[in-house]
Amino acid sequence: MVKKHIELRSVRITDGFWKRKQDLVRETTVFSVYNRFYDTGRVEALKCDPSNPEKRHYFWDSDLAKWIEGVAYLLEKEPAPELERLADAMIADIVANQREDGYFNSYFQTVETDQVYALRKNHELYCAGHLIEAAIAYKRATGKDLLYRCMLKFADQIDRVFRVEKSAAFLTPGHQELELALVKLWRESGERRYLELAKYFIDERGSEREREMAGIKPEQLRYAQDHLPVREQFTAEGHAVRLLYMCCAMADLALETNDEALKTACERIFRNIAEERMYITGGLGSNCNFEGFEENYHLPNEIAYNETCASIALCLFARRMQLLSEDPIYANVIEREIYNGVLSGLSLDGKAFFYENPLEIDLMSPTHQSGGRQKLHYPIQQRVEVFSCSCCPPNMTRFIPSLGEYLYTVEDGGIRVHQYMDSETREGELHLIQKTDYPRSGDVEFHYQGSATAVSFRIPDWCRSYTLSQNGRPVEAEQVNGYVTLPMANNDRVSLSFEMPVTFVEANPAIRADAGKCAVMRGPVVYCAEQVDNAELRLYDFRASEDGAKTEESEQFYFPTVTLTGEVREDGRTLYAAERFRRRSAELKLIPYHAFANRGPSNMTVWLLQK
């Protein structure tokens, strides 16, 4: 058996934090996003009516495709007739308007109709990729293959134009996405040419020929990872989402074609991100100008871009890497992302989104005169229900329902448990139940039914102390490469208990932005301080003591809030004083970072002065 994840259709999240989030998406978010898409004209645009004067954008098809994909994942679990009806309507419009030769794009078929495949930046292949992913997911969830057959035609057209005739104005997609979708299409259809096309695009990227044809300027090379052949790219450069979608395809191809060079590049890029270019929240891509990665350890907190889609994309990439490698880094990073940098993109009420996810907010900052010699950009301070570029909301609605696919991988040797979520999994003989309220609680109970096998449990990288028992008896098992492995027999029960103290975390000394500071975590959850919880106390002046931290249950935030003891300085008139300003004891209340900005505009910080 080739190593694979246990599929979404086999895994049901049954309780706990993620059940609540999946319910929120199912009951609220997916409808809210549809309504915003409808209001903005995206849905209507699928009718490709040139007389419709509404201003469109050429990436709209991808927004709707991702929405359809999310609906498909929801339908895997439970019927949702209204959502299915809305999706079917969109699909009908797409099918009805697909060009004879297979091409589809609601923008270029109605607006700028002479620009088909004229400019690499026009996102045509990006939209195609998301439509392909949607088509496959929808067929698998519903059995309906209308869109799927459409997309086979589209993929064939792309193959003709780009690989056979090379008649487009550019060789490879601008924004990567199609490559990973083509691998999915190969896996679904069995038609090898889709894998070959994906490989072709990956192999051509970074070639001189590509650069010349597409007229890419030297200073633009890194932006879309055109600076080197991908097998020679060992650091995370350029636009984060583009890079990470490309890495997904590279990882897929590495697996499908046993390409060691691709695998190595993936491992090195991943490690560069996780060990040198990632925020503690999992945020990725510090620079707002190109939405991407800067040099190692340059991680400013207040102006951090940290696109929500990038955190989701890292999960997509990491999940694929789990099939290539036993390295625990992948599951650990996924965990960091889902509880922090991904989730901060969604409001607690499920209706609003952040595109950017900073680690510090000062409400006064945007009021300073900006523009001319120095133009400072700050993320918005409150989530909004729709953006003109709305990639993050449907990414959220397709990602959260798909989380079941992140729990387990299986291979001949056994099962690996990567994530802890209350769930029930059935596949063939296997019936595996996780009962847990992780990470509100550190306890996880497994009930295994199936043939004798080995089950490996990830010990989270933040965990310093845990207990393990099997069938009621404590077990000592050696932790190998971040996992402990137990032999399992039918009906075995395993209990894990991860100790979850409030922990103070330091950043690597090479990160200037965090020098002299600490961040608070409890299990995988990163915390932050918001002004709204802390009266007039100066968040940036609070020195945190590592003693005396308390937790308090919270209905509102699900995870406990944390109260730190420490000190702040009292007000004074003197501007610069040789005597220290007087200190007084103070407490600071922290909430989970992902829940920031849900109670109105507020100063906020993740990093706190160390005592």
Site for a copy of itself contains 298 (CB under 8 A): yes
> Which string of b and e fits 85-124 if b means at least 16 CB within 10 Å?
ebbbebbebbbebbeeebbbbbbbbbbeeeebbebbebbb
Site for a copy of itself in 197-216 (CB under 8 A): none
Q: Give the C-alpha distances (Å, rounded to integers) separating 16 from 22, 374, 501.
A: 10, 47, 20
Contact region with a copy of itself (CB under 8 A), list: 29-37, 55-63, 293-301, 398-406? 293-301
From the list 156, 27, 181, the residue with the least C-alpha distance to 99 is 156
> Is 288 an annotated catalytic residue?
no
> Is 291 an annotated catalytic residue?
yes
Site for a copy of itself contains 462 (CB under 8 A): yes
Site for a copy of itself contains 161 (CB under 8 A): no
Q: Which position among 150, 391, 463, 528 bears the catalytic label?
A: 391
Question: What is the closest distance, in whole angstroms, from the C-beta atom of residue 236 to a copy of itself in the complex?
Answer: 13
Six token digits for residue 60: 């709209």
Question: What is the closest distance, in whole angstroms, from the C-beta atom of residue 22 to a copy of itself in the complex?
Answer: 28
CA 382 to chain centre: 20
Contact region with a copy of itself (CB under 8 A), list: 250-258, 322-330, 396-404, 564-572? 564-572
Local structure of 39: helix, strand or coil: helix
Site for a copy of itself contains 388 (CB under 8 A): no
Question: What is the closest distance, in whole angstroms, from the C-beta atom of residue 572 to a copy of itself in the complex?
Answer: 6
Mode of pairing for the β-strands spanning 493-498 and 443-449? antiparallel
Question: What is the closest distance, in whole angstroms, from the C-beta atom of residue 66 to a copy of itself in the complex?
Answer: 24
Local structure of 46: helix, strand or coil: coil
Residue 107 is inside which H or E element, if any?
none
CB 205 within 8 A of CB 175: no
Site for a copy of itself contains 81 (CB under 8 A): no
Local structure of 26: helix, strand or coil: helix
Residue 443 is inside which H or E element, if any?
strand 443-449
Q: Kindly tell me which residue out of 581, 585, 600, 601 binds a copy of itself, with binding defined by CB under 8 A.
A: 581
CB 65 within 8 A of CB 104: no
Q: Is the dihedral of CA 224, 225, 226, 231 positive or negative?
A: negative
Q: Which position among 291, 337, 360, 405 bears the catalytic label?
A: 291
From the list 434, 403, 432, 428, the residue with the least C-alpha distance to 415 is 432
Question: What is the closest distance, in whole angstroms, from the C-beta atom of residue 382 to a copy of itself in the complex?
Answer: 19
Q: Which is nearer to a copy of itself, 144 or 611 (CB)?
A: 611
Partner residues linked to 479 by β-bridges: 484
Site for a copy of itself contains 258 (CB under 8 A): no
Q: Kindly tell me which residue out of 166, 187, 464, 550 binds a copy of itself, with binding defined by CB under 8 A.
A: 464
Q: Which is nearer to a copy of itself, 153 or 569 (CB)?
A: 569
Binding characters for a copy of itself, 333-362, by CB under 8 A (x = yes): -----------------------------x
Which sequence positions are flagged as catalytic? 291, 391
Give the interface with a copy of itself as residue ranges (CB under 8 A): 274-276, 278, 280, 287-290, 294-295, 298, 303, 362, 364, 367-377, 462, 464, 503-512, 515-517, 519, 521, 538, 540-541, 543, 568-581, 609
